[in-house]
Amino acid sequence: MTLELRDRITTEGVLSALGKDQKAFFVEVKEEIMSTNTQLKAAGRNGAADGTVLIARRQTAGRGRMDRRFESPEGGIYMSLLLRPGIPVEDILYMTTLTAVAVAEAVEEVCGIHPGIKWVNDLYVGNRKVCGILTEAVFDTDGGLDCVVIGIGLNVYAPKEGFPEEIREIAGALYGADEREEERRNRLIASVLNKIRQKSFPLDKRKLSIDYKNRSMVIGRWVTVCRGTTEREALVLDINEENHLVVRYGDGAEEALSTGEIRVKLQR
């Protein structure tokens, strides 16, 4: 059997791993999609139901934050979940933090591996990024929130040929290319979906903030804050209630950073 056929993601496998909880989701698995987020947002505009899940075995134009590309070779999980959560627009950010905690817990449950969260939405194992999250909103004609699409890219198995040169220093995977175990990815997907649902209804912001901070790998560390072309070193003091990163620069000035155009690099 080729590597690709071992631990294959299938609709039946995900549904079976979801068990009785499968009625909350409409799961579709495709061999190859440009971007599951782009496709699911279009479906959302056409009325796709709350709980629709689109999964690709590989993406040809996977998208990351800040218009970056997300490498999506066979071996990972590339999934998007559409929710109609009925929350105010300003609460959308909680969907991202909630998902970061949910994926970290699912990886622990299924794989026994403990990822840390790098503000705002990357999961790391050691000093390697293993997962990125891209949450996108679709608005109705009145500017209200129509639906949210949460995209998750999780590097489960390292690509046989290694990660591309540009991300080789940063990207990592939960397992080596040939460490495949049957049904692992279907179980991971099911666990992620269940945990997102449990944490969203009802949304407990206080608990979420505690869980998120407990997994943070930036608090107490020096980072480089990148804003446009400028870079400044700063010590991370806290992540506040609004999920802003509270930092202190070398000159003693403090600032609460919101996600927007800011990127934070860990210092090794």
Footprint of ligand BTN (CB under 6 A): 35-37, 59, 62-65, 68, 70, 78-80, 122, 132-134, 151-153
Nearer to ligand BTN, 13 or 153 (CB): 153
CB of 79 to ligand BTN, least distance (A): 6
Nearest-angstrom CA–CA distance, 29 and 79: 9
Question: How far is the CA of 227 from the CAs of 53, 117, 143, 231, 234, in angstroms?
Answer: 34, 21, 28, 6, 13
Nearer to ligand BTN, 80 or 243 (CB): 80
CB of 207 to ligand BTN, least distance (A): 24
Nearer to ligand BTN, 88 or 126 (CB): 126
CB of 34 to ligand BTN, least distance (A): 8
- Non-local (6+) Cβ contacts of 30 within 8 A are 54, 55, 56, 57
Checking 113-118 for CB contacts under 8 A at 24+ apart, the result is: 113/174, 115/215, 116/215, 116/216, 116/217, 117/212, 117/215, 117/216, 117/217, 118/216, 118/217, 118/218, 118/264, 118/266
CB 115 within 8 A of CB 105: no
Question: How far is the CA of 23 from the CAs of 53, 83, 145, 200, 251, in angstroms?
Answer: 12, 14, 24, 16, 55
Nearer to ligand BTN, 143 or 228 (CB): 228
CB of 92 to ligand BTN, least distance (A): 15
Nearer to ligand BTN, 153 or 172 (CB): 153
CB of 154 to ligand BTN, least distance (A): 8
Nearer to ligand BTN, 82 or 133 (CB): 133
- Angle (nearest 5°) at CA 248 between 246 and 249: 135
CB of 20 to ligand BTN, least distance (A): 26
